[in-house]
A = this chain, B = another copy of it.
Amino acid sequence: MGKNSVRKEQILESAAKLFRKKGFKATSMRMIASNLGLEAASLYNHIHSKQKILEELLLGMGGRFMEGMKEVEDSKKNPLEKLDLLIGLHVKLTLSYPEQISLITGDWVHLEEPALTQYKTLRNAYELKFKTIIIDGMNEGLIENIDIEMALFSILSSLHWLYSWYARHPEMKGSDIEREIKKCLISGLKKREENP
């Protein structure tokens, strides 16, 4: 980590922004270079191919999510509190890496083997850990008895699209975003009875 040159970081950043706006296939090496005042050919002194840019961006995000998950697992809190921490993790990573996050929702399909399998394996492992926390919560009576796959999917799809919402509400603070999205995903929309 951190041994990337300045130029390479600039290229990854330029690419991520364009991938987000246009998508991987609709973004050309010429566009990525043009944003940095370069010609397309110059990019190849710093990166091996367009494909490798996508791999670095996506596997980098995968690693960050797995690191965050490990911290949550080691926290020894109860499952509902762990769910709370996980939502915080997604919010934090979304605000820190908004462009890279957007690749998770769509452009990962353009990965080629073996990176594609590598990415899917990482994602499956993450989702399994997430699911385990939900199941623990049900067993302890903290979480409603809901179809587990549906609960997982429902949370993750909201969290994955948080970046597009944040792009339209840049004035909102991270802490406010975190509080409100937790209300939606954990407590639900329907009004709860006042406490007895």
Interface residues in chain A, defined as those with a beta carbon under 8 Å from any beta carbon in chain B: 21-23, 25-26, 80, 83, 105-106, 109-110, 134, 137, 141-144, 146-147, 149-151, 153-155, 157-158, 160-162, 165, 168-169, 176-177, 180-181, 183-193, 195-196
- Complex Cα distance, B153 from A160, in Å, reads 11
Task: Check if A143 sits within 8 Å of B193, measured CB to CB.
Answer: no
Task: Check if A184 sits within 8 Å of B146, measured CB to CB.
Answer: yes
- The complex is assembled from copies of this chain, and their number is 2
- Complex Cα distance, B155 from A183, in Å, reads 12
- Complex Cα distance, B108 from A22, in Å, reads 11
- CB within 8 A of A154: which of B80, B110, B141, B181? B181
- CB within 8 A of A109: which of B23, B168, B196? B23
Task: Check if A189 sits within 8 Å of B146, measured CB to CB.
Answer: yes
- CB within 8 A of A187: which of B142, B181, B188, B193? B188
Q: In the complex, what residues of B have CB within 8 A of residue A187's CB? A: 144, 188, 190
Closest to A183 in B: B146
